[in-house]
Structure 1
Amino acid sequence: MFVQTSVAGLERHLARSDYGTGLTFDAYAAARLLIEARLRTSTLRRWTVLRPVTLMESYLPPKARAMFPWLAEGRLDSVHSTDMPIQLFSVVDIARFAVAALRRDPDRFDRQIIELNGDEPHVAHIAAALSDATGIRITYRAPSATDALRDGMLAGVAHSQEWANQIGYGAPSPEDVHTTWGIKPTPFTERARADADLFDVAR
């Protein structure tokens, strides 16, 4: 059994109106799809592709320093719209799915491409979860991509968050993931509590 990790919504990166606009990494998505195509036509006897949405661990250092550069100051500035659910999945749950594919039920997972979504909080709920987990008040705001870039956010980060607003991963709901595969994803609040000591916030 070969397990390949990829990214959810790859086709949506290329088949929707964002193609060629710079809002997403077109070449990255195309390369991922090419890898999957080679896997499907390979001589491997068993394989599974796991496609997670944005990782919950993106709010932890070192990645958070690029994606949410003001989090260490107690500000969760994000281009994500305040009324748009943000699809998140934990690396811990990727490991749980990989173990299920490799050892627990390889027949069921064989030749499956699985979109993984574990929670869909709004940015306000993410800030509240981080506040509760760390004991530090985390505020939030949703600047435009233009304002975020002016303030120093990396272009790739701002554009990926704008892409999530306009198009998004379109992954199944956490409930559907659980029902289909029998593995209950970890909610963001639970993951934040488990990682409370790892967040890069002023204490």
Structure 2
Amino acid sequence: MTRNPSSDKSQALKAKGIEVVQGDMSDGQSIRTALTGCERAFLVTDYQAKGVEGETESGNLFVDQAAAVGVKHLVFSSVGNADTHTGVPHFESKFLIEQHLRTSTIPSWTILRPAAFMENFPPAGGMQRMMTLGLFDAALQGKSLKLCSVIDIGWFAAQALEKPGEWNGRIMELAGDDITVAGMKAAYEKVEGGKPWEVPIPQLALGAMLPKEMYLMFTWFREGGYVADIGACRSIHPGMLTFEEWVRVKHHDD
């Protein structure tokens, strides 16, 4: 379901034989129309479009419409540690959607809780990657961060959608690596053959540089952190990507 079925991404999906349906996550009727006839659904929400309150409202609306049209199994991609009172607003908003799903009339559900996305780190060199590495280096101060690729989120979501009986009621924290910024730079260098650069950023500057939402998240990365059990994830999906493997995949794709 997309707001713009004529976009390049939508057209790429159509080329793969996927039916693309126009819809708006804030419009209950369009969600209902898109879900009519579906037995299983995958829900991903976005706080950046309409803020955390809008994210909760649209996620809950999707759950309600899915229940109304008889969806039998819903997979929700939430966020790692959603239930641990992180103080990060867009983590808390996803937990509210989790709670709404669990108390809904949808008979079967799965909740995936991925750690930070590997896709936050540009695979190719350039100013964007230099800034990203600098920001994470300043925020983490040498601490490691658990990461998960959206490729692997898709793998787990597909398993849950294809085998709802096995995945009903399961909540799975997801991570494929636990790595420092120094480790990320070593992975880039190993794959690319050259030392990656970063823009040095003082930790004290983060509060002025980042929106409050992002500053709270970066602070939590350093002072808290994800609890995903990488070994448990790999016991289900042995091919789950490390950061270095993800960089190799992205370079191959490009």
TM-score, normalization by structure 2: 0.61
Instruction: Give ranges in structure 1 of 5+ residues lacking alignment.
Output: none
1:92 matched to 2:151? The reply is yes
- Measure how far apart 1:30 and its partner are: 2.8
Q: Does 1:7 align with 2:62?
A: no
TM superposition shift of 1:169? 1.7
Contact 2:130 2:197 in 1 (8 A): no
Q: Which has the higher contact order (CA 8 A, sep 6+)?
A: 1
8 Å Cα contact 1:177-1:184 kept in structure 2? no
1:190 aligns with 2:252: no
In the TM superposition, residue 76 of structure 1 has moved relative to its aligned partner by 2.2
What is the letter of the counterpart of residue 111 of structure 1? G
Q: 1:52 aligns with which of 111, 114, 136?
A: 114
* Equivalent residue, structure 1, for 2:188: 130
Q: What secondary structure is seen at the aligned counterpart in 1 of 2:76?
A: strand
CA distance in 1, matches of 2:212, 2:93: 21
Deviations 1:1-24, CA, capped at 9 Å, x for gaps: 211100010122x2x6xx4xxxx3
User: Aligned equivalents of 2:119 and 2:101: distance in 1?
Assistant: 27
Does residue 110 (structure 1) correspond to residue 168 (structure 2)? The answer is yes
After superposing the two structures, state which structure 1 stretch, 137-146 or 40-49, moved more: 137-146
Q: Which residue of 2 aligns with 1:168?
A: 225
Alignment of 1:10-159 (within 5 A): 10-12=82-84, 14=85, 19=87, 24-25=88-89, 28-60=90-122, 71-72=129-130, 76-77=133-134, 78=136, 79-82=139-142, 84-103=143-162, 105-139=163-197, 145-149=203-207, 152-159=209-216
SS at match of 1:100: helix
Please report the RMSD computed on the Cα atoms of aligned residues, expressed in angstroms.
Answer: 2.9
2:80–2:113 CA contact under 8 A, matched in 1:
yes
Secondary structure of the corresponding residue to residue 140 of structure 2: coil
Structure with bigger gyration radius: 2
SS at 2:179's partner residue?
coil
Whether contact under 8 Å (1:97, 1:183) holds in the other structure is no
Retained in 2: the 8 A contact 1:145–1:162?
A: no
The count of residues paired between Structure 1 and Structure 2 equals 178
